[in-house]
Structure formats: C-alpha cells, structure tokens
Amino acid sequence: MCWIAKYRSTFLASLWFTWCVFTSTPGVGIASDLPDADEINRESWARDYFYGKKFRYEVKITDHADTEQSSLYAGLDEIAYQGTRELVIGRPNRPGGFAPIRVIHFQKNQGEPHTDEDPLMTYFNGSDGKESRIFERRLLTNFAGQGNGLSYGRVHVAFAIYVLSDDPFLNALTPAVSKFVGIESSESRPSVKDDFSITLVKHVADRDAMEFTPKLAELTNLAERTERANMQYVVSSWPEYLTLESWDRNINPPNTRATGLSVTELKTHGDHRYPEKGKRVTHFQSQEFRLLEITDLSDSELASFEWFPPWPTGTSIFVEAELKRKEIPFTSEERKKIRARSVENTQSKVEAAKVPYFWMNVVLVTIIIALFLLRSWRQEQAHA
C-alpha cells in the first residue's frame, strides 16, 4: 500500500505541473488567460506590420437594389466596381504619424478608342502627406460626341481619401482606417473590458479565434441589451487580432439589413497573417475582395516611390490650392481615333433608331390598307 500512496502523490504532482504549464501557454483555451477586450482593441489599432507593402487584390462591388445610391462610390459604377486594385502603404514619418498611401483601380479595357493600355487604370486615390489626388476616368468605348470626353482629376491641399476609406480590403486589414485621413484616436477610445468577456470560438478562417461576448446580465436597459445582443465581433488569435467578423444586426429604419465585415480566409506572408478573402456589407453595397499578392518594399524603394501616377492624357484637373483648372490634352492622334469612334457610334445609334420607325411605317401602311379594304367591302355590300 505504501508504494500506491507513493506513486499516487507523484502522479498528482505531475498532473498539477501539466495543468500549470497548460494554463500559462498563450493561445490555450482557458478564459482567465485570454486577453481582455481592451488589450485586443489596443493591439488591433497599433498593428503596423502592413506598412511598407504593396497589396494586389480583386474587388467586386454590387449595389443593393432597394437602396438609393449615396455612398462614396456614387457615380463610379463603370470605373471602380469590378477589377484589380493595387494598394501601397508607406511608413509613418514619425511614430504614430502619417503614412503615405495610394490605391489604383484597374479593369479590362473594353475597347477604348485611343489607348491599348490593358488592364486600364480607371480610378486613383492617394496622398503623400502634403496633398491628395483623385482621378476618375471617363470611358470612351461608347462615346458618341457627348461633351468633351475628358476624364476628371482633382488635387487637394490635405487629406482626401474618399473611396480608399471605403475599400473592403483596407477595412479588413486594419480597424484604424481613420489614421489614413489624418485622425489618430487610439488614445481616446473608451474602455470596453467590463462590457465584454472574451471566449474562444472556432472560425472558418482561424480555429483559435476569439469572440467578444457581451455581458448582458449587467445591462438593465432592455433596448441596450437587445442592441448589444445583435452585435458580433470575432478576431483572429494572437498576435494579429485581425477582424474576422464584425456585424451589426440591429435592423432599425432606415437600416434594412445587417451591416459589417466577414473574413473567410487568411494568408501568411513573412511572420504575419493577412486577410485573403472576405466580404463587407454597407447600407448601400456588398463589397467582396480576394488578395492576390503581397510585395515588401525596401526603405530605398519607398524613399523614391511615386505616390501619384502621371495624369493620363485627356484629363481636366482642378487644383484646389490655386482654385484653377488645367488640362492634360489628348494627342492629335488620340483625338482622331476618338472622333472616328464617335462617328461610328453615332451612325450605329441612327441605324438602330431607324429600325423601330421602319416597323412603325409598316404597321401604319398595313392599317391604312386594311381600312381601305374594309371601306370597299362595305360599299360593295351597300350596292348589293
């Protein structure tokens, strides 16, 4: 019996040691060892490993049919809804400072008369910290002489990150998109660690994901309890804490649908993970993305990087600081090609318009003949 007691005490000591090691290992499913909500928030906002990189990804944007379009993408359905984007993020000029950024949208050239560029740059938005520029191409494939055919450009004196701030991949990459419009609010975020507990969940993108679980029992206000219960927030495991699910399912007019972000696949590059595939739903649109490539840029490459591509020919540019408009004209050869396409498209429209008029004439002639025959028949009947 003595040996049983001896080995029993040894076994219990071993079990106790194993349990201590298990509970002290980061990422292991013991609730008391998981980070609190404030720590996750803080680390998410401070995430900076995406600086100094170029990302290439596909996007597909679809407007909600039941919502009047008034988003940042309004009027850009032909040039920014579907294609490939190239996002470049520089490095901050100081800790917590501004980082230059740009995005270029490319899509298939559907037959522009004056350029063989394919894929075709159709939209651009970026800032180098001193000024921001925007470019919106006017497509001329179906041009038939309406207006001057010029694309639109604008130079702002400060931050003007419009569509870029509504980009689905950038919003999945970091919750701190406001940093790129000159706003740094990480210091002023309220504490939420007493409002949420952190629980381990299995997610399609990360089997060791963590979810913010609201502490509903502590809320006495029914409306607040309901609102909190209809919100979901899931992040990936340490060290990235990437947003995997962020949903607001409170349907209150004028909101007619759940809005948020879902990341279904992650991609490892170097020592970190990045969102590879996901979907963002706003009040106006469904925005899908798929990451294709990540490229690291050296300090020397960033130092000489051109944050603004050259303005394409045929662009009218408004310079905000000067309150003036300037033009990058088409070349004479480009103008000839555009005029030829305009004539061709105009003739096609005229020919297309002739078709219904032809059939209208056929119908009218048929009716007249029918009426004449009917009248003749009645006269014959009257004389019979």
Q: How confident is the model at residue 27 (pLDDT cuts 50, 70, 90)?
A: very low
70: its two tokens: 């008034």
* pLDDT in the model for residue 245: 98
* pLDDT in the model for residue 218: 73
Q: How confident is the model at residue 320 (pLDDT cuts 50, 70, 90)?
A: very high
- For β-strands 209-214 and 132-136, DSSP reports them as unpaired
* pLDDT in the model for residue 69: 66
In this predicted structure, the answer to whether residue 190 has a pLDDT above a threshold of 90 is no
Rounded to 5 degrees, φ, ψ at 288 are -110, 150
- For the segment 340-350, the average pLDDT, to the nearest whole number, is 79
Q: Comparing 356 with 334, which gets the higher pLDDT? A: 334
pTM: 0.81
* pLDDT in the model for residue 7: 34
Q: Comparing 222 with 215, which gets the higher pLDDT? A: 215
Predicted confidence (pLDDT) per residue in 290-318, tens digit: 999 999 999 999 999 999 999 999 999 99
In this predicted structure, the answer to whether residue 240 has a pLDDT above a threshold of 80 is yes
Rounded-to-integer distance, Cα 26 and Cα 299, Å: 33
Predicted confidence (pLDDT) per residue in 127-164, tens digit: 998 899 999 999 999 998 888 899 999 999 988 887 88
Neighbour-count burial for 82-98, b at 16+ CB within 10 Å, e otherwise: bbbbbbbbbbbeeeeeb
DSSP 237: S
135 CB-near residues (< 8 Å, 6+ apart): 121, 123, 124, 125, 151, 152, 153, 309, 311, 312, 315
* pLDDT in the model for residue 81: 96
In this predicted structure, the answer to whether residue 325 has a pLDDT above a threshold of 70 is yes
* pLDDT in the model for residue 12: 35
* pLDDT in the model for residue 294: 99
Q: What is the CATH number of domain 50-188+267-334?
A: 2.50.20
Instruction: Specify the amino acid at residue 342.
Output: S
In this predicted structure, the answer to whether residue 237 has a pLDDT above a threshold of 80 is yes
In this predicted structure, the answer to whether residue 9 has a pLDDT above a threshold of 50 is no
* pLDDT in the model for residue 125: 95
Predicted confidence (pLDDT) per residue in 81-121, tens digit: 999 999 999 998 877 778 899 999 999 999 999 999 999 99
In this predicted structure, the answer to whether residue 15 has a pLDDT above a threshold of 50 is no
* pLDDT in the model for residue 220: 75
Mean pLDDT in the chain?
A: 84
* pLDDT in the model for residue 184: 60
In this predicted structure, the answer to whether residue 351 has a pLDDT above a threshold of 90 is no
308: its two tokens: 């603004």
Q: How confident is the model at residue 272 (pLDDT cuts 50, 70, 90)?
A: very high
- Domain coordinates in residue numbering, the chain: 50-188+267-334
Rounded-to-integer distance, Cα 154 and Cα 15, Å: 68
* pLDDT in the model for residue 1: 35
Taking a C-beta distance cutoff of 8 angstroms, is the pair 99, 91 a contact? yes
* pLDDT in the model for residue 334: 96
